[in-house]
Structure 1
Amino acid sequence: MTLTLGQMHDATLLAIRYDWSARNCTFEFAGAPSAPGPFCIRFVSVSELVIPANETWGPSESVLEVVDHGTGRYDFVMQSGDTIAVVTADKALKPTFTQGRPQANLES
């Protein structure tokens, strides 16, 4: 998939799934202007995940921007005013994009 973190503006976040024992986190999206179909972003070796839902700017499921700090920390600034932070233990491990939604979640 050719989508990059810089093309995430207006992507619609559906779910965040965290596998505690494996330390993997998957963000599921309905799509974005740059990627009209559903897609996922997977982070491995996650050491920290912060998911506030204060909606300071009002309710929204859309991404404003994603900031890659280059240190293994990624901030998903939401149009609600919340910032979802993902930190990976190994800063060299970059997130991976895949088209569609995980098969296990299609059944629910």
Structure 2
Amino acid sequence: MKFESLELHDSTIYEIKYLWGSRELTLKGTRYSQEKSGIIPFSLLFKSVSSYSVQHNAPWGESSSINGTGIEVNGQYLIELQSGDVISVVASEVEFEGV
């Protein structure tokens, strides 16, 4: 499934972890699943990370919920939070778990 097609709107992020030696960034959270009729965990594993940025200025107010996702042509994955902050990860690929 393509990153920008993931249904992560209103999902909540609770952990971001970067492993320096393996150059992997893991983002964990919870999301609503219609198939399971409830809240389930999910994770995004970014591989071969060359850079990342995690803003936490909350210009729209505090929130850890996802507003939307996107990808730039240079392999930059973007996650906009409902706080107005953006998480940016430049990586070779991303894996999603939590279907």
Same fold (TM over 0.5): yes
Which structure 2 segments of 5+ residues have no match?
A: none
Tell me the TM-score normalized by structure 2. Answer: 0.84
Structure 1 or 2: more strand by fraction: 2
Q: Deviations over 1:3-33 (max 9, x none)?
A: 9543111110011010011100000012245
Tell me the TM-score normalized by structure 1. Answer: 0.78
Q: Percent identity?
A: 31
Which structure 1 segments of 5+ residues have no match?
A: 101-108
Q: In 1, distance between residues paired with 2:75 and 2:2?
A: 19
Count of aligned pairs: 95
- Structure 1 counterpart SS, 2:93: coil
* RMSD (CA atoms): 2.1
> Residue 11 of structure 2 contacts residue 66 of structure 2 at CA under 8 Å; is this kept in 1?
yes
Match of 1:106 in 2: none
1:12 aligns with 2:15: no
Match of 1:97 in 2: 96
Q: Which runs of 4+ in 1 moved over 6 A?
A: none
Q: Within 5 Å, which residues of 2 pair with 1:25-64? A: 25-32=25-32, 36-64=39-67
Please identify, of 66-75 and 51-60, the stretch whose mean Cα deviation from structure 2 is larger.
Answer: 66-75
